[in-house]
Protein backbone atom coordinates (compact mmCIF):
# COMPACT_ATOMS: atom_id res chain seq x y z
CA UNK A 1 0.00 0.00 0.00
CA UNK A 2 2.81 2.37 0.90
CA UNK A 3 4.52 1.69 -2.45
CA UNK A 4 1.31 2.49 -4.30
CA UNK A 5 0.99 5.83 -2.52
CA UNK A 6 4.66 6.68 -3.13
CA UNK A 7 4.29 5.78 -6.81
CA UNK A 8 1.22 7.99 -7.12
CA UNK A 9 2.98 10.91 -5.43
CA UNK A 10 5.99 10.55 -7.71
CA UNK A 11 3.82 10.53 -10.85
CA UNK A 12 1.87 13.53 -9.55
CA UNK A 13 5.06 15.49 -8.86
CA UNK A 14 6.48 14.73 -12.30
CA UNK A 15 3.21 15.77 -14.00
CA UNK A 16 3.18 19.07 -12.10
CA UNK A 17 6.86 19.54 -12.97
CA UNK A 18 6.18 18.97 -16.67
CA UNK A 19 3.36 21.52 -16.67
CA UNK A 20 5.54 24.04 -14.86
CA UNK A 21 8.37 23.48 -17.37
CA UNK A 22 5.94 24.10 -20.23
CA UNK A 23 4.77 27.31 -18.55
CA UNK A 24 8.35 28.52 -18.08
CA UNK A 25 9.15 27.88 -21.75
CA UNK A 26 6.00 29.68 -22.89
CA UNK A 27 6.83 32.64 -20.66
CA UNK A 28 10.27 32.87 -22.26
CA UNK A 29 8.74 32.79 -25.74
CA UNK A 30 5.99 35.38 -25.30
CA UNK A 31 7.59 37.64 -22.72
CA UNK A 32 6.85 38.11 -19.04
CA UNK A 33 4.58 41.14 -19.51
CA UNK A 34 2.15 39.30 -21.80
CA UNK A 35 2.43 36.16 -19.69
CA UNK A 36 1.40 38.04 -16.54
CA UNK A 37 -1.60 39.44 -18.37
CA UNK A 38 -2.61 35.97 -19.56
CA UNK A 39 -2.23 34.67 -16.02
CA UNK A 40 -4.70 37.28 -14.78
CA UNK A 41 -7.16 36.30 -17.51
CA UNK A 42 -6.91 32.59 -16.66
CA UNK A 43 -7.51 33.01 -12.92
CA UNK A 44 -10.70 31.30 -11.73
CA UNK A 45 -12.65 32.56 -8.73
CA UNK A 46 -13.73 29.76 -6.42
CA UNK A 47 -16.47 30.86 -3.97
CA UNK A 48 -16.37 29.99 -0.31
CA UNK A 49 -17.93 26.73 0.75
CA UNK A 50 -20.25 26.47 3.72
CA UNK A 51 -21.55 23.46 5.62
CA UNK A 52 -25.18 22.86 6.62
CA UNK A 53 -24.90 25.10 9.69
CA UNK A 54 -23.71 28.01 7.56
CA UNK A 55 -20.13 27.96 8.80
CA UNK A 56 -17.41 28.63 6.28
CA UNK A 57 -15.54 25.40 5.62
CA UNK A 58 -13.29 26.69 2.88
CA UNK A 59 -12.58 30.36 2.20
CA UNK A 60 -13.00 31.93 -1.23
CA UNK A 61 -9.86 31.83 -3.33
CA UNK A 62 -8.47 32.28 -6.80
CA UNK A 63 -6.90 29.42 -8.71
CA UNK A 64 -4.92 29.40 -11.93
CA UNK A 65 -6.39 27.34 -14.78
CA UNK A 66 -3.07 26.07 -16.15
CA UNK A 67 -4.56 24.26 -19.14
CA UNK A 68 -6.31 27.43 -20.31
CA UNK A 69 -3.10 29.38 -19.75
CA UNK A 70 -1.09 26.97 -21.90
CA UNK A 71 -3.71 27.05 -24.67
CA UNK A 72 -3.98 30.84 -24.72
CA UNK A 73 -0.19 31.27 -24.58
CA UNK A 74 0.19 29.02 -27.62
CA UNK A 75 -2.54 31.02 -29.38
CA UNK A 76 -0.63 34.21 -28.60
CA UNK A 77 2.53 32.73 -30.11
CA UNK A 78 0.60 32.02 -33.32
CA UNK A 79 -0.69 35.59 -33.43
CA UNK A 80 2.80 36.99 -32.82
CA UNK A 81 4.12 34.81 -35.66
CA UNK A 82 1.38 36.07 -37.99
CA UNK A 83 2.25 39.65 -37.06
CA UNK A 84 5.91 39.04 -37.92
CA UNK A 85 4.85 37.53 -41.26
CA UNK A 86 2.74 40.59 -42.09
CA UNK A 87 5.60 42.94 -41.18
CA UNK A 88 7.92 40.98 -43.46
CA UNK A 89 10.22 39.80 -40.67
CA UNK A 90 9.39 36.15 -41.34
CA UNK A 91 8.62 34.28 -44.54
CA UNK A 92 5.29 32.55 -44.79
CA UNK A 93 7.01 29.55 -46.43
CA UNK A 94 9.19 28.82 -43.39
CA UNK A 95 8.63 25.32 -41.98
CA UNK A 96 6.92 22.17 -43.17
CA UNK A 97 3.68 22.33 -45.11
CA UNK A 98 1.79 20.70 -42.24
CA UNK A 99 3.09 23.41 -39.89
CA UNK A 100 1.98 26.10 -42.32
CA UNK A 101 -1.50 24.64 -42.71
CA UNK A 102 -1.86 24.29 -38.94
CA UNK A 103 -0.79 27.92 -38.57
CA UNK A 104 -3.33 29.10 -41.16
CA UNK A 105 -6.18 27.17 -39.57
CA UNK A 106 -5.27 28.46 -36.11
CA UNK A 107 -5.20 32.07 -37.36
CA UNK A 108 -8.61 31.60 -39.01
CA UNK A 109 -10.02 30.17 -35.80
CA UNK A 110 -8.61 32.98 -33.66
CA UNK A 111 -9.81 35.72 -36.00
CA UNK A 112 -13.31 34.16 -36.11
CA UNK A 113 -13.33 33.96 -32.30
CA UNK A 114 -12.31 37.62 -32.03
CA UNK A 115 -15.03 38.64 -34.50
CA UNK A 116 -17.65 36.71 -32.56
CA UNK A 117 -16.53 38.33 -29.30
CA UNK A 118 -16.82 41.79 -30.88
CA UNK A 119 -20.33 41.05 -32.15
CA UNK A 120 -21.41 39.85 -28.70
CA UNK A 121 -19.88 42.96 -27.17
CA UNK A 122 -21.89 45.22 -29.47
CA UNK A 123 -25.17 43.48 -28.54
Same domain, 107 and 59: no
CB 41 within 8 A of CB 26: no
Among 72, 66, 64, 65, CA closest to 113: 72
Cβ atoms within 10 Å, residue 51: 9
Same domain, 52 and 103: no
Same domain, 33 and 82: yes
For the chain, give the number of residues.
123
Average pLDDT score over the chain: 88
State the residue range of the domain holding 31.
2-90
Instruction: Give the C-alpha separation, 89 to 94, whole Å.
Output: 11
Cβ atoms within 10 Å, residue 99: 10
Instruction: Give the C-alpha separation, 60 to 49, whole Å.
Output: 7
Q: pLDDT value at position 99?
A: 86
Answering whether pTM is above 0.85, one says no
> Residue 123's pLDDT band (boundaries 50, 70, 90)?
confident
What are 24-48's pLDDT values in tens digits?
999 999 999 999 999 999 999 999 9
CA 60 to mean position of chain CA atoms: 23
CB 63 within 8 A of CB 41: no
Same domain, 28 and 74: yes
Same domain, 75 and 24: yes
Total domains in the chain come to: 2
Instruction: Give the C-alpha separation, 107 to 118, whole Å.
Output: 16
Same domain, 7 and 48: yes
Same domain, 51 and 63: yes
Could you tell me the end-to-end alpha-carbon distance of the chain, in angstroms, rounded to an integer?
Answer: 58
Same domain, 47 and 67: yes
Amino acid sequence: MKRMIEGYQKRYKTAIGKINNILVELEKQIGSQDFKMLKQVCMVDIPEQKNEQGEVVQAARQELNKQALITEARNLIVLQREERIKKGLRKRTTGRSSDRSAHRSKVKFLSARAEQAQQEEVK
